[in-house]
Amino acid sequence: MAGGNVQKKSASKVYITGGASGIGLELARSYLRSGAEVTLFDIQPMESAVEVLAALAGPASIRTFAMDVTKPGGVREAFASAAESSPPDLVIHCAGIAIAADFEAIDDDAYARVININLVGTRNVVAGVLPHLKAGSQLVLVASMAGLVGCYGYAAYCASKYGVVGLAEVLRIELATRGIDVSVVCPPEVETPMVEAERLNRPRQTEALKLMAGTLPLNDAVAQIRKGIDRRRFMIIPGWRARGLWFTNKLLPGYWTRTLADYLVSRSSQS
């Protein structure tokens, strides 16, 4: 691993996909406070995000580019345009969606959409930005605890995020020879607009299993994520309960988490 746990100079030019809201927007705040130039990429309108961020830095420190991560050509063009005048030393890929429903309730199109945005979209982002990354830079992929531990109702989401973790593992090995560090972030539930929308319709069993890893306020989650990025850790898991779940799952592969999951699902199904 190029960087290991050695703390390096904080990034000065940061690209963030999915930067219009949630974890991406809060990370943008954090880096602007540190004096970095931040470039946001999102399919959603970014005017509100820029208005919020402008209070922290001058307009020259914030740039925005429209991006649909499912369109590889458009992704390449957006990164090429951004990098022409200001190539990144840190790229954080946050864009993603979630669906929480029983497997049989997720139709073909909905399942494909989750995989296409979360997994194929991650591939497109990596492929599009790699030509602009030099030795000493860092690539951060935001996955989820659902990429490490299965969860009821997340047949599509878990499949996509397990894939992101696997991709990060491969990229860590391959890019180390080029001096590029790779990190993967696997947070538990974080209080974001995406999670708030998901809660409206998700199964009771999903709600019960979420208790295992806990829920973090957005500010706390991002502070811990930022610390892991600055230290160039490969696996970044904010929240002590989430880290405990991960370590337990590693020590007792599958047994403890599956036993507890079965119990919680059974209990919530009867309520």
**Active site amino acids:** 157
As a whole number of angstroms, the distance between CA 120 and CA 219 comes to 28
Query: DSSP class of residue 92?
Result: E
Q: Are 124 and 74 in contact (CB under 8 A)?
A: no
As a whole number of angstroms, the distance between CA 167 and CA 165 comes to 5
Q: Are 215 and 190 in contact (CB under 8 A)?
A: yes
CA–CA distances in Å: residue 65 to residues 56, 74, 94? 20, 11, 15
How would you classify residue 136: left for phi > 0, otherwise alpha for psi between -120 and 50, otherwise beta?
Answer: left
Q: Is 101 helix (H, G, I), strand (E, B) or coil?
A: strand
As a whole number of angstroms, the distance between CA 244 and CA 229 comes to 20
Beta bridge partners of 181: 138
Which are the contacts of 135, defined by CB distance < 8 A and separation ≥ 6?
2, 178, 179, 180
Query: DSSP class of residue 154?
Result: B
Q: Are 126 and 167 in contact (CB under 8 A)?
A: yes
As a whole number of angstroms, the distance between CA 118 and CA 114 comes to 6
